[in-house]
């Protein structure tokens, strides 16, 4: 059973573990501190719980990841950018697909949003597939749109990104 909920202080240990895993953070935003500390996790929980657009993902009673939306401003106030991650031990179980489904339904039904989008690193095939299963379509490829440092060499790596979007039905 997959549930979306607020964060709890009991999630701190898992937040730190998951967000210090290079495979989990490989393609997600560089805004997440590295290394990720207990202080970072406590800050995040306080911040997240003040927003209706940030939810913890729970699977069979265990905290396994996070999903969020950043709502646009002005003429973009009816659309939001989706973001999510899940702990490696929970990959390939359909959890992320179901969490995205539940969160999109929530956003469309309760927040008057018309469009959701994600800019996902093209090499992140699993994430692209999660989005496609939920009705997102590729609107285009953003060439060399993001840059991350290679965790081993420290050299810059540029990634193409697929701009995936879904419009409320």
pLDDT digits (tens, 9 = 90+) for 119-133: 999 999 999 999 999
Longest dimension (CA), the chain: 45
Q: Which pLDDT score, from 0 to 100, does residue 169 have? A: 64
Give the pLDDT confidence score for residue 120 in this predicted structure. 95
What's the predicted TM-score (pTM) here? 0.93
Sign (positive/negative) of CA torsion 122, 124, 129, 130?
A: negative
Q: What is the pLDDT of residue 31?
A: 87
- Which residue's structure tokens are 């490696």? 88
Whether 119 and 98 have beta carbons less than 8 Å apart is answered as no
Helix (H, G, I), strand (E, B) or coil at 56: strand
Residues of the chain with pLDDT below 70 are 169
Closest listed residue to residue 106, CA positions, set 90, 87, 82:
82
| Residue 24 pLDDT | 93
* Angstrom distance (rounded) from CA 96 to CA 93: 8
Domains observed in the chain: 2-167 (3.40.630.30)
């Amino acid at each position: 059973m997959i549930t979306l909920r607020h964060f709890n202080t009991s999630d701190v240990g898992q937040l730190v573990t998951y967000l210090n895993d290079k495979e989990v953070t490989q393609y997600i935003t560089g805004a997440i501190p590295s290394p990720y500390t207990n202080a970072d996790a406590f800050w995040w929980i306080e911040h997240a719980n003040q927003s209706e657009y940030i939810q913890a993902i729970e699977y069979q009673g265990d905290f396994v990841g996070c999903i969020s939306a950043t709502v646009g401003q002005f003429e973009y106030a009816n659309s939001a950018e989706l973001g999510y991650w899940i702990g490696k031990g929970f990959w390939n179980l359909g959890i992320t697909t179901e969490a995205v489904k539940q969160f999109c339904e929530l956003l469309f039904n309760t927040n008057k949003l018309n469009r959701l989008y994600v800019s996902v690193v093209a090499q992140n095939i699993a994430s692209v597939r999660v989005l496609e299963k939920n009705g997102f379509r590729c609107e285009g490829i953003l060439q060399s749109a993001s840059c991350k440092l290679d965790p081993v060499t420290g050299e810059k790596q540029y990634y193409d990104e697929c701009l995936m979007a879904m419009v409320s039905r």
